Every structure is written in structure tokens, then in C-alpha cells.
Amino acid sequence: HSGFTMSTTNNIAQARKLVEQLRIEAGIERIKVSKASSELMNYCEQHARNDPLLVGVPASENPFKDKKPCIIL
């Protein structure tokens, strides 16, 4: 039954491709999630004070925030 043979051949070809790809990816070095997470945390901490959307900047330093108009008395 030629239809069955085609589909089996395709499935094997696909599976082969997948195993090859997994082999490539299996070769990379991994670190623990706990270590990765602490490093993400450290990065946030180190850069927090320079993050305008996080710490907020005064209107005078943010071009999008409207400065209060001056009133001359």
C-alpha cells in the first residue's frame, strides 16, 4: 500500500530530523534555574536606579512629563 509507505517514510524522516536537532541542543551547557534566577535578580538590582519607568523621574528630567507652567506674580 504505497500511501502507508509514504507516510511511514515521512514520519521516520521527521523523527530523524528531530533527533538530530535535539543532539545539537543537548550539547549546550546548562546552569541551574536557581543560579539563573539569582543572576536575573542581580541584574535588576544593579540597574534599578537607572530605570526611569521603575523609579520614576521628575517632570524636569522626563521630556514626556509636562512641566508645571510658571506663574509670574
Partner 1 sequence: LGCDGLQELQLLQLWNSRCSNHQLFAVHQVAERVEALGQFVMKTRRTLKGHGNKVLCMDWCKDKRRIVSSSQDGKVIVWDSFTTNKEHAVTMPCTWVMACAYAPSGCAIACGGLDNKCSVYPLTFDKNENMAAKKKSVAMHTNYLSACSFTNSDMQILTASGDGTCALWDVESGQLLQSFHGHGADVLCLDLAPSETGNTFVSGGCDKKAMVWDMRSGQCIQSFETHDSDINSVRYYPSGDAFASGSDDATCRLYDLRADREVAIYSKESIIFGASSVDFSLSGRLLFAGYNDYTINVWDVLKGSRVSILFGHENRVSTLRVSPDGTAFCSGSWDHTLRIWA
> Whole-angstrom distance between the N-terminal and C-terminal Cα of the chain?
96
Binding mask 2-41 for partner 1 (x = CB under 8 A): -------------xx--x-xxxxxx-xxxxxxxxxxxxxx
63 binding partner 1? (CB under 8 A)? yes
67 binding partner 1? (CB under 8 A)? no
Render 27-67 in DSSP notation, one character per residue.
TS----HHHHHHHHHHHHHHHGGG-HHHH---GGG-TTSPP
Q: Which residues contribute to the site for partner 1 (CB under 8 A)?
A: 15-16, 19, 21-26, 28-41, 43-48, 50-54, 56-57, 62-66
